[in-house]
Amino acid sequence: MSIDLSKLKAGAVKERSITVDKNQTTSFLWEGENVLSTPSMILEMEETCRLLLKEQAIPQAEWDSVGTIVDVKHLAATPVGAKVFLKARVTSIDGRRVMFDVEAHDELEKIGEGRHERFIINVPKFRAKFEEKQKQLEMKNI
């Protein structure tokens, strides 16, 4: 089965919000709860893009997407307990490659912005290819 991406258009938007929890923070600045880490912010931006694709273009369980490019600036610190508002907007579609503009704000300011690319995959085919690579690596390390 193939997918039909004709419903997905440049300009499509997904917005969501999260509350920063202690598992999303840095641990090296000072003792106790810290600030939202850059990897956690990027993870939430990526998930917003993924959800946009799942909701608007690929609802089938055997299709999903993986991140292939991340180009993000982390602009400001956000504490545990703060709300973060995430927005993803499709900027281009090239076959199964989809490019997004992403941004994140807390209740006071923009905390992150950038670009993200995702590639739409067939999960069973992706998994089979991954498992074959895993076997090759295991054989190499024996």
What is the average pLDDT across 27-47?
A: 82
Q: Which band of pLDDT confidence, cut at 50, 70 and 90, is reported for residue 29?
A: low
Residue-level pLDDT at 30: 53
What residues does 74 pair with on adjacent strands?
Answer: 112
Residue 118 is classified by DSSP as E
Residue in 15, 19, 38, 55 annotated catalytic: 38
- 38 given a catalytic annotation: yes
Residue-level pLDDT at 33: 62
| Spatial distance between the Cα atoms of 45 and 41, rounded to a whole number of angstroms | 6
What is the average pLDDT across 55-59?
A: 94
CA angle 68, 116, 96 (to 5 degrees): 55
Residue in 46, 48, 103, 105 annotated catalytic: 46
What is the average pLDDT across 124-132?
A: 93
Residue with tokens 């931006």: 45
Residue 38 is classified by DSSP as H
- 116 given a catalytic annotation: no
Element (H or E) spanning 122, and its range? Answer: strand 110-122
Is the pLDDT at 24 greater than 70? The verdict is yes
Give me the CATH code for the 13-140 domain, please: 3.10.129.10
Residue in 25, 44, 48, 74 annotated catalytic: 74
What percentage of the chain reaches a pLDDT higher than 70?
92
Residue 95 is classified by DSSP as T
**Amino acid at position 98, single letter:** V
Q: What average pLDDT does the structure give for the chain?
A: 91
E strands, the chain, where? 13-19, 63-74, 83-94, 97-105, 110-122
Is the pLDDT at 142 greater than 80? The verdict is no
| Spatial distance between the Cα atoms of 43 and 40, rounded to a whole number of angstroms | 5
Residue-level pLDDT at 12: 97
Is the pLDDT at 38 greater than 80? The verdict is yes
Is residue 91 within 8 A of residue 10, CB to CB? The reply is yes
What is the average pLDDT across 107-132?
A: 96
- 19 given a catalytic annotation: no
Is the pLDDT at 59 greater than 80? The verdict is yes
